[in-house]
């Protein structure tokens, strides 16, 4: 099942153990979502409800999205046919894992942090897949495709558009650094994995200061 494989890919990169299966939290029928978010037209939504120390989480992914990914599996071949759908689904799983991991460590999560990590995850997992599928090709066009050519839908983003741009800007600067490490004489997968795992565990403020210091 593709979401399990996505969860395992992200978990392997960051050395995570959250003890949850994303499918146990998956909703594919908007009628089962809280009324306040039911009318949204997005294909991915993470719904979080807190009551004191208790937190309830649901991940909505549109059934049409999952059907398209089943027909053109990006983990077999990632290309122009499925990359947009891949990033939508991956963002949902990224949000779910990041929230679950931080909740297990009793750490708060800001929306900026959640979105920034998801953008990094899109780049990193796509890079990993492309190098596995085409070992002789360095996907130098990936960062530009993700950050320069992607556009924020103002209708979906609403008042959060500026926050999404801010998160994307930080993520692009960090991914530029990763790209440099992968190209450099002292880089490679082991160095990048160590950098990614440290970054994942940083607080929101430390993530941003780390990016500013590196770039």
pLDDT digits (tens, 9 = 90+) for 38-76: 778 889 999 988 767 777 899 999 999 999 999 999 999
Sign of the Cα pseudo-torsion (59, 142, 193, 212, in order): negative
Within 10 angstroms of residue 188's Cβ, the number of other Cβ atoms is: 12
pLDDT at position 162 = 86
User: Does pLDDT of 160 surpass 80?
Assistant: no
What average pLDDT does the structure give for the chain?
A: 89
Q: In whole angstroms, what is the distance from residue 158 CA to residue 47 CA? A: 17
Total number of domains constituting the chain: 1
Check residue 205 and report its DSSP letter.
Answer: H
pLDDT at position 58 = 92
What the block records as the tokens of 75 is: 């983990």
pLDDT at position 121 = 98
pLDDT at position 154 = 58
pLDDT at position 87 = 96
- Whole-model pTM above 0.95? no
HSE-CB at 89 with a 13 A cutoff on CA atoms is: 31
More confident residue, 148 or 103: 103
pLDDT at position 186 = 53
User: Does pLDDT of 4 surpass 70?
Assistant: yes
CA–CA distances in Å: residue 2 to residues 49, 79, 120: 26, 16, 20
Q: In whole angstroms, what is the distance from residue 127 CA to residue 105 CA? A: 28
Q: In whole angstroms, what is the distance from residue 41 CA to residue 52 CA? A: 30
Average pLDDT over residues 198-214: 93
Place of tokens 């500026």: 162
- Beta bridge pairs of residue 56: 49
pLDDT at position 137 = 82
pLDDT at position 115 = 95
Check residue 75 and report its DSSP letter.
Answer: T
| Residue ranges making up the domain that contains 128 | 2-214
Residues 6+ apart with CB under 8 A from 149: none
């Amino acid at each position: 099942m593709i979401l399990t494989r996505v969860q395992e890919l992200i978990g392997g990169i960051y050395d995570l153990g959250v003890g949850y299966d994303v499918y146990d939290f998956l909703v594919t029928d908007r009628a089962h979502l809280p009324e306040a978010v039911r009318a949204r037209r997005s294909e991915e939504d993470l719904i979080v409800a807190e009551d004191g120390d208790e937190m309830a989480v649901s991940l909505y992914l549109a059934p049409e999205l999952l059907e398209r990914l089943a027909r053109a599996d990006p983990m077999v071949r990632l290309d122009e046919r499925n990359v947009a759908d891949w990033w939508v689904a991956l963002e949902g799983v990224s949000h779910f894992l990041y929230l679950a991991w931080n909740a297990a460590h009793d750490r708060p999560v800001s929306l900026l942090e959640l979105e920034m990590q998801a953008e990094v995850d899109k780049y990193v997992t796509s890079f990993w897949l492309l190098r596995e599928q085409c070992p002789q090709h360095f996907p130098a066009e990936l960062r530009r495709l993700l950050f320069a050519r992607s556009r924020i839908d103002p209708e979906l983003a609403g008042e959060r558009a500026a926050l999404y741009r801010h998160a994307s800007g930080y993520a692009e600067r960090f991914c530029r650094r990763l790209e440099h490490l992968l190209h450099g004489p002292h880089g490679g997968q082991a160095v990048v994995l160590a950098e990614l795992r440290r970054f994942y565990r940083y607080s929101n403020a430390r993530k941003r200061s780390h990016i500013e210091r590196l770039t």
